Structure 1
Amino acid sequence: MALNLLLPVLACLQIFPWPETIAGDASPMPLLSVNPKYSSYLMGDSVTFTCSVPKGHQATQLQFLKDGDEVASKQTQSQHPQTYHLPSLNVRSSGSYRCRYLAAGQKAPSQLSDPVTINVHEKPPPTSLSLDPPCAKYLVGEQLMLSCIDPKFGEVTGYRFYNRRNMEVSTYDPDPHGGAKHVFLSLHMDDAGPYTCKYWTAMRGQEILSVESEAVSVSVLEPPSQPALSMDPPSGVIKEGLPLLITCSAPRHTGEWRFRFYKNGVELVPENTRTPLNTMDPGISSVNVSVLSIPRARPDSTGEFTCRYEEKVCQRWTLSPRSQAVNVTVVADNAFLIRFLVVGVSFFFINSLILLISHCCL
């Protein structure tokens, strides 16, 4: 089965035996050229070798060789130059190339052309791109520096930074310590996205760009916004002795918060207040709310309450604006008032009856 598949392929191959050169009977050498012509090449480059037969000679076969071994052979009846194309060079493509031809009516091939030597190098290795400070998220207005460091300082001509649309955002010469830095003095929302960098070296009269660095991501957030404040009971009117819950909610989920509650503009700290209270704050990766709990409301719990929160972004705590205020009014227990009135009225009537009886008896 494999042989049946191979036979058509072999039939299509142009295999031409090349006789040995006979001294004194060889045709004049052809001219071999390469395009583009550089002193060195990079992996991935493409080149084309062109073999031109001298005027007055017509070739029937033409052969390309690398380091003495055949790499291509063509049959031709034309006086036009023949080409050998390498679409993507690699390190193994380096070597000395020649060509020769077999002229019509000749039994021996021509002399070998003068050699054309190419040297193929790998592309310059990628740079290292880092963020300073190194954070997952940044706030609008913060400063950020991208540092691009190459592995071969001293051979670099310049650096380029690219944004998420793969558009060049800046170009720098190497700084005295190696590498280059792109600084955002004040971040904007439009600065968010991945960034990469490359460096280039001067080679063969042109700029040779390195392999692109790995991308680093810049996430930009608006500053903390106003929290929402709510309470239970929603009316804000509560009987003395009942529990009161005041909830402060941050508007987004970033991972870490610290909440603060205020009464009449003064921050509530449990150990510094006469009213028994406690707060239930979320920890890292918790929900973005905190609850101020007053287990038993007292008359001195009456007042105007507000809150704010601190949000941790890029290893720094940033304070939000203060929430809108809610008003709490603590009223006396109605049952207590009723009992007081009943006892008082009863005492009044009893005293009055005693006085009346005493008066009548006199």
Structure 2
Amino acid sequence: KRKIGGFRFFNQSGEQIHLRAPYSLLTATLQLTATKASAGEYTCMYFVEDSGQEIPSNRSLPFSIKVQAAPMAPTLSLDPQQQVYRPGNCVKLVCSFHSSPADVREVQYYADFGFQISILVSNVNNYSYDLRIKGENDSGSYSCAYYAIKSGRPVLSETSCGVNVNVKS
């Protein structure tokens, strides 16, 4: 009795990019990360094993994947802009988008020490987060990014350049 031995996936150049074998299920998946390099056409095929021989199926019809660039990085600024902040100071992190504000759904702020906060937004050109400085642990490089609706789905922008917050007690 013949049984499925596995699946092969191919890129548009015809190179095998993935092999699922041994594999006996009737469907197999290939997971791709969306990058410019992953755009293109893909095909797949399966093979059965009969008396130790591999018998390939015909290739599938090609499936095309298009990848668009992420929305442009926003610009992050500080208000007030100071060389040094003290515990108890409040500084506004202002994230300004280049996208149409109607498309922006969420803004995320990050710091290089692991801080992250997400804020839902509606129809504004920039959005700010009030950072209340507690101590030197708040020192670091801060950045922001946003989710914009593209082709009906939320897509994360590139991340802004970092701005430094320097806290001294």
What is the TM-score of this pair, normalised by structure 2?
0.65
Map 1:1-362; keep pairs closer than 5 Å.
Answer: 58-59=3-4, 63-67=8-12, 69-72=14-17, 79-81=24-26, 83=28, 85=30, 88-101=33-46, 103=48, 104=50, 109-139=56-86, 143-154=90-101, 155-163=103-111, 165-169=113-117, 171-174=119-122, 176=124, 178-183=125-130, 188-190=133-135, 192-194=138-140, 195-202=142-149, 207-221=154-168
Structure 1 residues 113 and 171, CA, compared in 2 at 3 Å: closer, same or farther?
same
Task: State the secondary structure of the residue aligned to 2:104.
Answer: coil
Greater share of strand: 2
Q: Report the AA paired with residue 173 of structure 1.
A: V
Contact persistence 1:158–1:199 (CA under 8 A)? yes
Work out which of the two has the higher radius of gyration on C-alpha atoms and give 1 or 2.
1
CA distance, structure 1, for counterparts of residue 115 and residue 94 of structure 2: 18
Q: Report the AA paired with residue 138 of structure 1.
A: Y
Contact persistence 1:72–1:84 (CA under 8 A)? no
Q: Report the AA paired with residue 64 of structure 1.
A: F
Structure 1 residues 190 and 139, CA, compared in 2 at 3 Å: closer, same or farther?
closer
Greater share of helix: 1
Measure how far apart 1:197 and its partner are.
Answer: 1.6
Q: Report the AA paired with residue 90 of structure 1.
A: T
Task: State the secondary structure of the residue aligned to 1:138.
Answer: coil
CA distance, structure 2, for counterparts of residue 164 and residue 70 of structure 1: 40
* CA deviation profile, 1:325-348 (whole Å, cap 9, x unmatched): xxxxxxxxxxxxxxxxxxxxxxxx
* CA deviation profile, 1:204-243 (whole Å, cap 9, x unmatched): 8764333332322223456xxxxxxxxxxxxxxxxxxxxx
Contact persistence 1:189–1:220 (CA under 8 A)? no
Measure how far apart 1:91 and its partner are.
Answer: 1.5
CA distance, structure 2, for counterparts of residue 62 and residue 173 of structure 1: 44
Structure 1 residues 164 and 200, CA, compared in 2 at 3 Å: closer, same or farther?
same
Contact persistence 1:63–1:70 (CA under 8 A)? no
CA distance, structure 2, for counterparts of residue 90 and residue 142 of structure 1: 41
CA distance, structure 2, for counterparts of residue 81 and residue 72 of structure 1: 19
* CA deviation profile, 1:74-116 (whole Å, cap 9, x unmatched): 696764457574564532222232223455499x853433443
Measure how far apart 1:130 and its partner are.
Answer: 0.7
Q: How many percent of aligned residue pairs carry the same amino acid?
A: 23
Measure how far apart 1:139 and its partner are.
Answer: 4.8
> Which ranges in structure 1 are unaligned for 5 or more consecutive residues?
1-55, 223-362
- Which is bigger in relative contact order (C-alpha 8 A, separation at least 6)? 2
> Which ranges in structure 2 are unaligned for 5 or more consecutive residues?
none
CA distance, structure 1, for counterparts of residue 64 and residue 144 of structure 2: 33
CA distance, structure 2, for counterparts of residue 87 and residue 115 of structure 1: 16
